[in-house]
Structure 1
């Protein structure tokens, strides 16, 4: 299943981003996006973990995330529906074709298609193997007695399904096992060993068990992220509490809409239809009441008491999440947000250094130095995160190529953070003349403007922003040259000490190097306008969702 899911993501590539871009204030589109994403990933848990990551990163509001959860529960039923089609006679053909395509493929995309087919074949080969192993159990009196207890006591079936899924961490896998078990004939050789009324409680338990993954993923995340996980649990638990009272009627309904025939031959399809019907019914039930679910989870996990204050460490990632590395589209979206945050910290540091130099404020210049150092550490952590994504092998060729370019731009962002530290060293404890401070400030203002423009160009991919950075570089060179000439005139006029020449030139040199790094970033955008914008899902949506979160 992992092989199939990972390679499907590589094949989907940026289409996954287009699916996620459907996340708007319209909950119906949110349900659709959740269903489509889960159908691709073949795992509602993976989609839920994505939603938790987005909410934790403040890219999505809680109502949007809940609509994604509703859709994910529908999307995950696709696996059971596929399993219900009897393809056992063609399993080895899928395995052979998948291997052959992946073996002879010359491009990564075709290779990923082959591995997806191979994973699909191996998945069903495994299910067939489990089914063959279960057939002898049908004649075991001990096993039959255990199954009869589950059939007679629905709550026991729910417990069994929940425990199975908590252990396996995949409701798709446990439902596949349930389908295969149910398709095993009992002692009479005609009826199912468990029957539809016995399978439905286990199915309800499987749905509850799959929420454990989301709850575990929410540990250490924001309160809103925890609320997303709780809403996933609330959806499935509420459904179980409703449907468990109507199992005979629900089973009769499923039998009516499913193909007729001997029970052991049609029960797999009946279980798949029951899974789909349950999730569609609960989605239709909750969809108009998303606001109510928001209130419930807000009551379960309330806001912190007034007066409590959380201070974000600028050196620590706010968005990166190791658990999202297997979903590169989402992980790279988090990287893009982190780089923007890092760039803003550096821009503020440049501004504060200039202001502190003017006011001769040593405390403020020290604080600006700490911010720049923290931003440099954050850049390094982002670089390490990208390296781990590469190592995980989750990127397709297109994503990998854009990520390499992004790392190149990130190196220049980190270099500007380091140059801020160098500039601070040239400012601390040095008594510059007022004229020298004015000249350095002019150069610093241009460098700050260039860096802000370079980061804007990187985020937007707008070549006009990059052109403005190049245009400002001429002004920075002129400001440096003017400052050096004016300094030498002051020395000749005995207004400045010759001993100040080296440190002042070093200050101007480092400011100039900031401009050079900004030009490198702008040049990267000029060569490929989608460097950072490639990873962003929807900037306008991001801002709107952040305000709601």
Structure 2
């Protein structure tokens, strides 16, 4: 199985990625892609891990990948049919030995990776069926002296034990098809009842989730959600199949009787494996939406939890005053994110990753706040409340400006590096320190918040900015700095200055909203002044 699977994956090359990327735009296409690709590479685990990788890198959405996973479970039944039909319906060595020979020749003498990989897959395919032939002959001799039924406990307890055995074997062998081949051979040789074999097959389905769980460790939240959906699907499908086990086997016998074909143990197991996987997909059709919603509420990263609104409750929309209170509380969270951006951008060692994380969370929250404001505005809102709504949106715009300026600033600071001279470094540090101080005093949720302190620190920042600007211009004029570097450092200072000013404006307006005062007058410059070029 490993030779076959690894060879097919290598031979497929980019085709596996291309099929997944281009063929999953709808649930039906995702399901079909999962079935087709798993049938081609003969490994549902490979498709599952590839899907987790694509979701992890953002190439595939969770919604589309979900159906690829469901389809891969159906596609995994193809190998069982090959084992059941070829392994027990024809003289194996008549076709297996030539296939091994051709595959070995290609593997050793083939030109190019694809051709050698195809040879490996052919050799693995032939050796797989030769192994089944050896198992058949060995089990036929053992069967006369050994009755596995004596080791199987009766009732549901025995079935659960067999499911556990199938799960453990699959985890250890990392190839569910190989385990199913063993089970089919044992059942065909009379060493195991059909019911016991089918119970072990259910366990092999559950065992395939182990690799997906390992692949999702340390991955993004969506990748972990996809792995969880794989586990959920296989557990639910396995539980339903176990409950319906006797009935499904009886129904399959009736179907085979209608077709006038003898019902061998191998074909019964193959039919059962296909039937309960298809049944699982049918169960997921109405449940997929709810499953996605449930997954969306779990496996969150700290960043996602930070970006999720906490106070915007749809039940308050009918009461505009309550809705605006909820909006004000959410604006407190966005203000905290804006302050964190400013603090990390102005620190002695700017933290670009933290700024980008908080800016992304602020952007996501701003989208939710904007949508909530639109829903408030759709109702009949009194004039006074409409003014508060407009001012709240103004505050949000200030906060987004802070995040944008800080993102540009930390990226530019990383490119420029430290100041080349001590006097300039001292002036830059004093300016940045004043920006940090403002991030501390502009928290209008703090008990000691005072708008007057914001104005005092803002004036100090302006004085430090003027000193830094004068120093940079002087260094450029006296050739202590290149003109290009001088311009870039001035732009960095301007970005931080604007972030501080926007932070102060947001704090003043939030304080006025809390006190139900008129909007404070802002200094010239406006709310939507463009970012510096670059």
TM-score, with structure 1 as normaliser: 0.55
Who is 1:245 aligned against? 243
Alpha-carbon offset, residue 41 of structure 1? 2.5
Kept in 1, the 8 Å contact 2:80–2:181? The answer is: yes
Q: 1:260 to 1:27 in 2, by over 3 A?
A: same
Aligned residue-pair number: 347
Who is 1:43 aligned against? 43
Kept in 1, the 8 Å contact 2:101–2:123? The answer is: yes
Quote the Cα distance in structure 2 between the aligned partners of 1:237 and 1:151. Answer: 17
Who is 2:65 aligned against? 65
1:471-502 CA-to-partner distances (Å, cap 9, x unmatched) read: xxxxxxxxxxxxxxxxxxxxxxxxxxxxxxxx
1:221-275 CA-to-partner distances (Å, cap 9, x unmatched) read: 2232222111111111111222222222211222234476665xx2212211211
Instruction: Choose the corresponding residue for 1:112, options 114, 117, 120.
Output: 117
Map of 1:138-217 to 2, 5 A cutoff? 138-141=143-146, 143-147=148-152, 149=154, 153-185=158-190, 193-217=191-215
Quote the Cα distance in structure 1 between the aligned partners of 2:21 and 2:59. Answer: 11
Instruction: Choose the corresponding residue for 1:123, options 112, 128, 133.
Output: 128
Map of 1:521-536 to 2, 5 A cutoff? none
Structure 2, unpaired ranges of 5+? 308-336, 345-350, 358-406, 430-471, 490-534
Cα-Cα RMSD: 4.1
Q: Which runs of 4+ in 1 moved over 6 A?
A: 308-314, 354-358, 363-366, 442-445
Alpha-carbon offset, residue 441 of structure 1? 4.6
Structure 1, unpaired ranges of 5+? 186-192, 319-343, 367-427, 446-549
Who is 1:75 aligned against? 75
Q: 1:299 to 1:306 in 2, by over 3 A?
A: closer
Quote the Cα distance in structure 2 between the aligned partners of 1:364 and 1:348. Answer: 20
Quote the Cα distance in structure 2 between the aligned partners of 1:140 and 1:147. Answer: 16
Q: What SS is found at the alignment partner of 1:85?
A: helix
Q: 1:128 to 1:54 in 2, by over 3 A?
A: same
Kept in 2, the 8 Å contact 1:152–1:198? The answer is: no
Quote the Cα distance in structure 1 between the aligned partners of 2:73 and 2:239. Answer: 17
Quote the Cα distance in structure 2 between the aligned partners of 1:37 and 1:141. Answer: 40
Instruction: Give the structure with higher Rg (CA).
Output: 2
Q: 1:243 to 1:137 in 2, by over 3 A?
A: same
The answer to whether 1:272 aligns with 2:270 is yes
1:144-176 CA-to-partner distances (Å, cap 9, x unmatched) read: 411474898322322222222222222111111
Quote the Cα distance in structure 2 between the aligned partners of 1:43 and 1:198. Answer: 24
Who is 1:397 aligned against? none
Quote the Cα distance in structure 2 between the aligned partners of 1:251 and 1:268. Answer: 12
The answer to whether 1:91 aligns with 2:131 is no
The answer to whether 1:101 aligns with 2:106 is yes
Map of 1:351-362 to 2, 5 A cutoff? 352-353=415-416, 362=425
Kept in 1, the 8 Å contact 2:74–2:278? The answer is: yes
Q: 1:16 to 1:172 in 2, by over 3 A?
A: same
Quote the Cα distance in structure 2 between the aligned partners of 1:261 and 1:131. Answer: 22
Q: What SS is found at the alignment partner of 1:153?
A: helix
